[in-house]
Every structure is written in C-alpha cells, then in structure tokens.
Amino acid sequence: MNLLSGPFGIKRHWKWTAGKTLKSMMMLGVVTPVMISTGAQAQTAPMTFAQNQQVEWADNFDIATDHITEVKSSAPTLSPQTADYIAAAIDRYQRIVQAGGWGTVSAGGKALRIGAKDPRVVELRRRLIVSGDLEQQAGLSDTFDSYVDAGLRRFQLRHGLIPDGVMGDGTVTALNISADVRLRQLETNMIRMRSMSGFLGDRYVMVNIPAAEIEAVENGMVRSRHTAVVGKIDRQTPILNSKIYELNFNPYWTVPKSIIRKDLIPKMKEDPQYLAKNNIRIFDWSNNELNWQQIDWNTDEATQYRFTQDPGSENSLGSVRINFHNKHQVYLHDTPSKTLFGEANRFHSSGCVRVQNVRELVTWLLQSTTPDWDRGRVDGVIRTGDREDVKLKSQIPLYLTYITAWANADGVVHFRDDIYDRDDLYGTGEQARL
C-alpha cells in the first residue's frame, strides 16, 4: 500500500498491481482535466474501472477519509508572487470556460455522504473531475466511495467550507457556481493583489475578511494563522491599512453607540436584568454611575450615556484587545464566544475582528517588538485578571484586506464568498471594488 500526498496536503492510499504505475496524477485545481460530456456520451467515461486494469481500487469506504489534512503554504497570501500564481490560475480557468465549464449538481434531496448510492453522485463526480478535485480514473459510478469523499473534502477546503465530506445544501451551492463566475473572481482579485504588491514590512498582520482568517507574517513567511470572526453584512469590517500600537490585557469594554442603539436597547426591553447579568454599568459623562431605571428604554436616551462592561470571563473583548489606528472604532480582540470559530460562515461581529488563539498572536506581537515578554508572561498577566496596557516599542503594520480568490505556489486555487458584494460577479453594472 503506497501513501501518496497530493498538492493540497491530502494523503491518499492507492493499491497498485505489480509492476504498474499510474503515469499521471491530476494536481488539485492545477491541471485542466479532460472534459466529460453531460449528454449521451456520459455513459462512456475517459477511463472506467473495467478499462483501467492497471489500478486496483480498494473501495472499502474508509480509505483516505482518515488521512485528510490541510497543509497550507508557508508563503503569505500577500506574497509578491501571489499575483503571478493567480495569473496562472486565470489561464487554466479560461481553458475550462472555453471547453464548456463544468456541469451542475442537482439541488434538493437528502444530503449525501460516503456509502450513499444516488444518481447525483455521478453529477458530483463529473463536477469534481473538471475542477481537478477528483482524478479521472475514479470513474462515474453512482456510489459515494472513499475517493469521492476525499475529493469533496478537497473542494470544501478550497472554498472555506467545513470539510465534512457531506454534500449538503451549502456545498451544492458552491459546486454550482459557474466556471466563468470563478474566472471573473480570479481576474478581480489579481487586480487587488497587484495593488498590494509593494513592500509590506518585515513583520505584519493580514486579515482576509472574506476568508475570516488572519496571518502573522515575519520575514516573508507565515508565522501563524488564526481563524477569525469578522463583521456582519450590515456592520462590515472596514478595509484599511494601519499599524498595531497597543495591547490591553483584561480590558473594559465601552459599548459603541451603534451597538447601544441596535442591540442593547432592544435587549433591555426584553430583559431589564440584561445589564446586570453581563456586568455592564451605566455612567454619565461626568463619571456618575446610573441605575437602569433612570433611563427611558423606549427612546434613544441610552445613547447619551457610557456603558462599560467590567473585565472578566463574560467580557465581550475576552482577555485582550489589540489596538490599531483607525477612525471606525474597531480593533482585534479575544472573545468568550469561541464556538463561533468552528462555523464556516464567520460573519457575526459589529465590525471588530475576533481572533482565535489570540494569546499566540499577542505573544508574537510582543516578542517581536517589546523586550522581556514571552508566552508565560502573557498567560500570567491574563491569569491575574488585572488591567494592564502595553505599548509596543515598534508598531506592526496591519492590513485588513478583501480577497475572495487566490492561488499558491502549488497551483491550489482558493475561493471565498463575496460576502460584502464587492466583486460584481454577476455583471450588475457596478464596477468591482478593490
């Protein structure tokens, strides 16, 4: 049994007959595959199991599914070469479009997973073969075997979906986005990448909003990646360049006026004990503390006061806040709501960026700029619960970016939803925004 690693970092088991080799393996999303007809010719696959006696497939429904991991490139998304990688991907997707694109997968019906037998599996196989997520040699069986499972997980990983190997509604929606739309997405993002092709700094932090992901970059290599939660569609995280200058450990949270109006007032109407339950206190601008009964919650009167949440386990900023220069009153921060990091669509904030494994990022920020800080000291300060503010000795560049399609050195092409509708993917007449 040979163990092969694909270019997407996904390991696959293949059983070979003696003295035979598989002469070509399709790189994921890299090599444009031979197109499979969706019409009458679909009965004849380029290589069926019967025709391909060189390879013995051990379809025991457990192969590969226990070996799928995502090994991302150590090169940053904003590397100087990324625009060139996208250009190569554009060339490949142009060939796919010229050859007729890929077929769709029928929507509706129950979700399909490994072990299922369904006519839609044939559609799924065709779709995955065209985009390079499944080798042509897998054939067009209607059985959802381990190779379809691995191919679907590859597709899900490339599109920012939870790689569960289940063909549910969300995955079908992504599968059915046409090749020409994906091509336009690549073209738009190549322009964005070209605009960011200058020197970004020896150390910097990049937040990719559509991917809800953060990269800490040092000397041209990704030091760490962090899952993020970013702004809702109606409370968008701003796109900007700035510099990180300060960390607040065990911070107070001063509730922004927009959140007082949109969230806090409605919650107080529902539950007058909401402020007490969440350790939020009310002050006037002379620093006099008020009781909630002193405010008319049927009006916007509450927006005239300062609402402050005390440090602690329920504080909305968690254990640390990362400040950077901006006019939008947004920042990076920890969060007590860590279950959101496990979702595929992580667009829940009011514009700020919540950071998974924030202590790792904070330690790197301090170690790279400010003497005498290490992970032990970071943990110790947080454990005390005491307020402490730390100014960075040297500020770290921060880029809040909007990238919905990119490729890496291995030719793996990634796509994310155009969550803020900036790509003009469907030709509404609005120019795509950088």
CB-based contact 43:126 (threshold 8 Å): no
Backbone angles phi, psi at 235, to 5 degrees: -140, 70
DSSP-assigned letter for residue 297: T
Catalytic site residue 333?
A: yes
CB-based contact 25:47 (threshold 8 Å): no
* Cα–Cα distance, 66 to 62 (Å, whole number): 7
CB-based contact 387:230 (threshold 8 Å): no
CB-based contact 307:254 (threshold 8 Å): yes
Backbone angles phi, psi at 264, to 5 degrees: -70, -45
**Beta bridge pairs of residue 280:** 309
Nearest to 374 by CA among 384, 358, 363: 363
CB-based contact 159:174 (threshold 8 Å): yes
Backbone angles phi, psi at 193, to 5 degrees: -65, -40
Which among 67, 159, 325, 333 is annotated as catalytic?
A: 333
* Cα–Cα distance, 230 to 245 (Å, whole number): 20
CB-based contact 214:228 (threshold 8 Å): yes
Which among 13, 226, 328, 352 is annotated as catalytic?
A: 352
Catalytic site residue 352?
A: yes
Active-site amino acid positions: 333, 352
